């Protein structure tokens, strides 16, 4: 049986750095997330979950959905308790129709354009990887990214992810995403 990510206390709130933390996405974050997407509508063309957010009700629907999916947590990235982005953690249960790899964990993210270039997503994903590796058996970390999304590729590169030759059509919209991997570091 696979572990319920929602039942792991260490994954419920993660300190990233001074005044920056991750906590599970709430319906009350909807207005702020929609402001971020309005500030850079191209995020919807790069991040699957963002493409689903057009109204506060859409965010509420996603909050309910991820609470029912024990292999997924969507986090609000907070700076001084103000939502500035979204980071997702998911267990590989057969993404893009591939065989499940239950010891592989993946990430996705988006950030307020005003907060870019400060290392916030890099720090948040690193903190989340560290916490996940301490809390679960991890084979490797994975991410999927369009080759044209240079900002996200830069984040993945800083985090030590390597591109693979595997590409997949994103299931809802069909854009092509490359798989990136990072083996869990040995202690």
Per-residue pLDDT at 10 exceeds 90: yes
Write the DSSP string, 11-69: GSSEEEETTEEEEE--GGGHHHHHHHHHH-GGGGGT-HHHHT-SSHHHHHHHHHHHHH-
The stretch 145-169 carries a mean pLDDT of 94
Strands 14-17, 82-92: pairing kind = unpaired
pLDDT in tens, 28-53: 999 999 999 999 999 998 899 999 99
In which residue are the tokens 């993210």 written?
A: 109
pLDDT in tens, 54-112: 999 999 999 999 999 999 999 999 999 999 999 999 999 887 778 889 899 999 999 99
In which residue are the tokens 């083996």 written?
A: 183
The stretch 155-179 carries a mean pLDDT of 92
At 162 the pLDDT is 97
For each of the domains in the chain, give its residue range(s) and CATH number, in order of start. 5-183 (3.40.630.30)
At 184 the pLDDT is 66
In the structure, what pLDDT confidence band is assigned to residue 170 with cuts at 50, 70 and 90?
A: confident
At 14 the pLDDT is 97
130 sits in which H/E element: helix 120-135
At 181 the pLDDT is 96
pTM above 0.85, yes or no: yes
């Amino acid at each position: 049986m696979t572990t319920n990510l929602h039942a792991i206390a260490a994954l419920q709130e993660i300190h990233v750095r001074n005044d920056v933390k991750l906590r599970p996405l709430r319906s009350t974050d909807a207005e702020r997330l929609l402001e971020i997407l309005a500030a850079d509508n191209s995020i919807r063309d790069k991040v699957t979950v963002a493409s689903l957010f057009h109204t506060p009700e859409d965010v509420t629907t996603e909050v309910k959905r991820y609470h029912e999916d024990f292999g997924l947590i969507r986090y609000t990235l907070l700076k001084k308790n103000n939502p500035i982005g979204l980071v997702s953690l998911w267990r590989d249960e057969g993404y893009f129709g591939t065989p499940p790899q239950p010891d592989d964990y993946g990430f996705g993210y988006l950030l307020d354009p005003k907060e870019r270039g400060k290392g916030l997503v890099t720090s948040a994903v690193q903190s989340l990887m560290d916490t996940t590796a301490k809390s679960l058996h991890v084979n490797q970390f994975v991410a999927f990214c369009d080759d044209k999304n240079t900002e996200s590729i830069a984040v993945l590169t800083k985090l030590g992810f390597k591109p693979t030759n595997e590409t997949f059509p994103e299931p809802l919209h069909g854009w092509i995403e490359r798989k990136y991997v990072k083996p869990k570091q040995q202690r």
